[in-house]
Chain A
Amino acid sequence: MVTTLDQFETVIGLEVHVQLITNSKMFCSCSADYSGAEPNTHVCPVCLGLPGVLPVINEEAIRLIVAIGLSLNCKVSDFSKFDRKNYLYPDLMKGYQVSQFDLPICENGWQDLEIDEGLFRCGITRVHMEEDTARLLHRKNAGGSYSLVDINRSGVPLVEIVSEPDMRSPEQARAYLISLRQLLRMIGASNANMEEGNFRCDANISLRPFGETELGTKVEIKNMNSFRSVYDALCFEQVRQAKALIEGENIVQETRGWNQEKGITISQRVKEEANDYRYFPEPDLPPLTLSNDFVENIRSEIPELPSAKKQRFVSLGLNEFEAGTLSEDRSRANYFDNLVESLEGKSERAPKLAANWMLGEVARWDNEHVGKELSEFPIKADSLAELIVLTEEGVITNAVAKQVFEKMLSDGLGAKQIVEKDGLAQLGEEAGDELVAIVRSVINDNDKALADYLAGKSSALKFLLGQVMRQTKGRADHALVQSLLEAELEALE
């Protein structure tokens, strides 16, 4: 099969629904924890939609959606309201879903994504609040098919995050979902697990010839229950549309369902009047005018996100690789921050030194202890800083620093303590006589190296240098030893 994709640009926008982590439901005090609960035991007159009840907004859900919006660089509206989205379906107790139509709580944001080609910014159209529906189970027996309803999920806080049609490939769509999931978990807003159904994604995809600015006819894909299936469905759909376009067919604007077993999208029965939701303002819920204080208070509690961390590390003077590696794991980033803080004022190269140790010796420990976090690393950041300072000040050599590091790990002693106890301080100018003696004895004991050196082999010098360092257990000042060696050898020539 000839791929036909190189003629068209793919345009993808994603609609993601996430369940928030709250104790109670969106508008009533029933427990929101429906997983594992006995069916129809988290139900009250409000989520049942009985006449005469009064729903009341769950403040925690509003705090969480604002946190999501701020994390996605959205503007938080100073005026938003709820609306009724009317349709009749057995998963909806009231005959309408409380949602937000024209005045969502958050809009106009973006999410920066890292993909192979570099940094990529995806626009966020809006983030709005709504409520989840009841769970339907479909049964079949000799008498025919029927459905069963469990109302527990009805009314659980649900947030819809709508992206701009900014993605240009299934890979970008996947990167968006992965970073969104990471963000939602980081701020504690949602478990964001697609397999468990608390993170759901619908995709809009269209194709257009390269260079065309108008969007092509879009198709909405549903029924995807993993990141993998979103990726596969988009890959399938872009090829299907490209083929149709090349054959001169029109793309029908429709909803297609992803069939995991067959690996294809299938046109879903076009529901007449499907979009006639007759939205109107929810009369039972007064509007929200979230104050600046309310919003700023939430902003101050949002942990720094990985992308912001990375940028901050780059601004400290780290390169892309260092900043990326240190920011991707929360406990690693925290350790690095503590280390830099402990080094502050003690070295101008503090961030760089800290990064070198983090990506060197500390990373080695990390790799050898799979499943452990750096918060469990036995050397505390201020102790490691002490070791780094000893090295920076020339008290010990780099080679000795590594020995001390191992000792700190095995014995749990401080760096200074180990250096003093084991007499590991660097042998510098003040130990000149001692070093000269060692240099001479090394030259005496290594006739072959000496002959090689005199024959012009420069590698012999390195060998002799190594021998001196060995005899001093790495304590000798490297540069000093080199100059002493050269002087002694020159005298022999």
Chain B
Amino acid sequence: MTISKEQVQHLAKLARIEITDSEVRILASQLSDILEHFEALEDVDTKDIAPTAHPAPLRNIMRTDEVEDSLSKEDVLQLAPETEDGLIRVRAVLE
């Protein structure tokens, strides 16, 4: 199975990553190699095997509904490149 240049561009767009034409070529080839590698799994008969939802044998890990301290507002806002009135400022989002 191969990954086309269009698929790479599509994925880049979904991930909001800008990539050059030469990067598209390299990534298409590398991603195709990876998929090819995984194709080895197709030799395994999985007809009667349920999909694995989680690799660890853990179930029902839950916590009680209790509130604990959050970060200080200053700590939160200093992570953002731009703020205004205690809010994080981002580029306009089209409604």
Sort A-B residue pairs by CB-CB distance and give the 5 closest, nearest first: A60-B65, A29-B68, A286-B58, A148-B87, A145-B92
Quick check: A41 and B92 within 8 Å, CB to CB? no
Which chain A residues in 47-67 approach chain B with CB under 8 Å? 48, 56-62
Stretch at the interface among A109-117, A180-188, A276-284, A427-435: A276-284
Quick check: B87 and A57 within 8 Å, CB to CB? no
A245 within 8 A of B: no
Quick check: A138 and B59 within 8 Å, CB to CB? no
A252 within 8 A of B: no
Quick check: B86 and A39 within 8 Å, CB to CB? yes
Interchain pairs with CB closer than 8 A, number: 131
Q: Which residue of B lies closest to A148 (CB)?
A: B87
Give the Cβ gap from A168 to chain B, nearest Cβ, in Å.
31
| A residues less than 8 Å from B49 (CB atoms) | none
Quick check: A30 and B64 within 8 Å, CB to CB? no
Quick check: A48 and B79 within 8 Å, CB to CB? yes
Task: Give CA–CA (A144, B10) in the complex, Å.
Answer: 29
Give me the interface of B with A, judged by CB distance under 8 Å: 10, 13-16, 53-56, 58-68, 70-71, 73, 76-77, 79, 84-95
A128 within 8 A of B: no
The answer to whether A149 and B68 touch (CB under 8 A), given A278-B14, A286-B54, is no
A22 within 8 A of B: yes
Quick check: B16 and A56 within 8 Å, CB to CB? no
A43 within 8 A of B: yes
Which chain A residues in 280-305 approach chain B with CB under 8 Å? 281, 283, 285-290
User: A148 is contacted by which of B16, B65, B89 (Cβ under 8 Å)?
Assistant: B89
| A residues less than 8 Å from B16 (CB atoms) | 88
Q: A30-B70, A40-B77, A57-B61 are in contact. List 15 more A-B contacts (CB 8 A).
A: A24-B66, A30-B68, A40-B73, A40-B86, A56-B62, A59-B63, A59-B65, A60-B64, A81-B53, A88-B15, A90-B90, A148-B87, A285-B54, A287-B54, A290-B60
The answer to whether A62 and B62 touch (CB under 8 A), given A40-B73, A45-B71, A88-B16, is yes
Give the Cβ gap from B49 to chain A, nearest Cβ, in Å.
15
Q: Which residue of A lies closest to B63 (CB)?
A: A56
A383 within 8 A of B: no
Quick check: A286 and B56 within 8 Å, CB to CB? yes
User: B88 is contacted by which of A148, A276, A281, A290 (Cβ under 8 Å)?
Assistant: A148
Quick check: A30 and B54 within 8 Å, CB to CB? no
| A residues less than 8 Å from B55 (CB atoms) | 283
| A residues less than 8 Å from B93 (CB atoms) | 89-91, 136, 138, 147
Give me the interface of A with B, judged by CB distance under 8 Å: 22-24, 29-31, 38-45, 48, 56-62, 79, 81, 86-91, 103, 136-138, 144-151, 269, 273, 276, 278, 281, 283, 285-290
Q: Which residue of B lies closest to A24 (CB)?
A: B67
Q: Which residue of B lies closest to A37 (CB)?
A: B70
Quick check: A40 and B76 within 8 Å, CB to CB? yes
Supply 6 A–B pairs (Cβ within 8 Å), ascending by A: A24-B66, A40-B87, A43-B73, A81-B53, A287-B54, A288-B60
| A residues less than 8 Å from B54 (CB atoms) | 81, 281, 283, 285-287
Q: Which residue of A lies closest to B90 (CB)?
A: A90
| B residues less than 8 Å from A39 (CB atoms) | 73, 85-87
| A residues less than 8 Å from B56 (CB atoms) | 286
The answer to whether A59 and B64 touch (CB under 8 A), given A283-B54, A286-B54, A289-B59, is yes
Give the Cβ gap from A178 to chain B, nearest Cβ, in Å.
28
Quick check: A23 and B76 within 8 Å, CB to CB? no
Give the Cβ gap from B68 to chain A, nearest Cβ, in Å.
4
Give the Cβ gap from B37 to chain A, nearest Cβ, in Å.
18
Task: Give CA–CA (A144, B94) in the complex, Å.
Answer: 13
| A residues less than 8 Å from B10 (CB atoms) | 273, 276
Q: Which residue of B lies closest to A271 (CB)?
A: B94
| B residues less than 8 Å from A289 (CB atoms) | 59-60
Quick check: B60 and A58 within 8 Å, CB to CB? no
Task: Give CA–CA (A289, B59) in the complex, Å.
Answer: 7
Give the Cβ gap from A31 to chain B, nearest Cβ, in Å.
5
Quick check: A31 and B70 within 8 Å, CB to CB? yes
The answer to whether A269 and B94 touch (CB under 8 A), given A22-B65, A137-B87, is yes
Give the Cβ gap from B41 to chain A, nearest Cβ, in Å.
16
User: B59 is contacted by which of A22, A147, A286 (Cβ under 8 Å)?
Assistant: A286
Quick check: B86 and A24 within 8 Å, CB to CB? no
| A residues less than 8 Å from B68 (CB atoms) | 24, 29-30
Give the Cβ gap from A320 to chain B, nearest Cβ, in Å.
41
| B residues less than 8 Å from A42 (CB atoms) | 70
